[in-house]
A and B are shown apart, each in its own frame.
Chain A
Amino acid sequence: GVTQSPTHLIKTRGQQVTLRCSSQSGHNTVSWYQQALGQGPQFIFQYYREEENGRGNFPPRFSGLQFPNDSSELNVNALELDDSALYLCASSHSFTSGGTDTQYFGPGTRLTVL
């Protein structure tokens, strides 16, 4: 399945954070989401074959990488209080590769910014 680390993280405003995700074996697409309490997931960006393949309405201080070994990371610079949320990683096998593109989620990282 999809794994994420760490499970919980506490940072202070202005700091930088890196969240990690390991995709399900055989999946070539990873998407990152931010989910505030009581809300649906908000799309941050998606990576396909190590290239950014779509981005939601998030500022450039949110950046990411996808590696050849099915792992990826989300970096957030200059943390703000509003960045406190659950960050979810989801992997899928894209349409263009013959998959259904159904997304399977990791357990998430709960980020608290003080």
Chain B
Amino acid sequence: GQNIDQPTEMTATEGAIVQINCTYQTSGFNGLFWYQQHAGEAPTFLSYNVLDGLEEKGRFSSFLSRSKGYSYLLLKELQMKDSASYLCAVRDGNYQLIWGAGTKLIIKP
């Protein structure tokens, strides 16, 4: 079967750095997405990786290793508004998105 694993919950301090990991096993691979979802709201697109390496976008960076089936989302200079769930999704060989359950990130002052 296909599955995506992420930690259920993480806690970090305002101003710090946090890394959220995602491992996946899918039938084929055509890209990996990270989305942010605040409670009661829809997911919003953060980043897309299809080749190995690091993609940087302001305070957020995303890394991919296809050979290891592994990605991480790195959040720097954490702000209270970054408290949200972070969803990892993989586009499989049939071009369908397989979603992880999300990582709830709690930011403390």
Contacts and interface: CB of A to CB of B under 8 A. Distances in A.
Residue of B4, B42, B96, B98 contacting most chain A CB atoms (<10 Å) = B42
A56 B94 CA distance: 12
B42 A105 contact: yes
Interface residues of A, number: 22
Interface string A85-114: 000100000010000111111111000000
B107 interface: no
Contacts of B102: 38-40
A31 interface: yes
B87 A102 contact: no
Interface stretch (B11-19, B43-51, B60-68, B75-83): B43-51
Contacts, number: 48
B95 A103 contact: no
Chain B at the A interface: SS class: strand
Interface in A48-100: 54, 56, 88, 95, 100
A40 B95 contact: no
B1 to A, nearest CB: 11
A102 B33 CA distance: 8
A43 B96 contact: yes
Given A39-B101, A95-B95, 7 more contacts: A40-B87, A54-B96, A56-B96, A88-B43, A100-B48, A102-B48, A104-B45
Interface of B: 4, 33, 35, 41-45, 48, 87, 89, 91, 94-102
28 contacts: A31-B97, A33-B99, A38-B102, A39-B101, A39-B102, A40-B4, A40-B89, A40-B99, A40-B100, A40-B101, A40-B102, A41-B43, A41-B87, A41-B99, A46-B96, A54-B94, A54-B95, A54-B96, A88-B42, A88-B43, A100-B48, A102-B33, A102-B45, A103-B33, A104-B45, A105-B35, A105-B44, A108-B41
Interface of A: 31, 33, 38-43, 46, 54, 56, 88, 95, 100-108
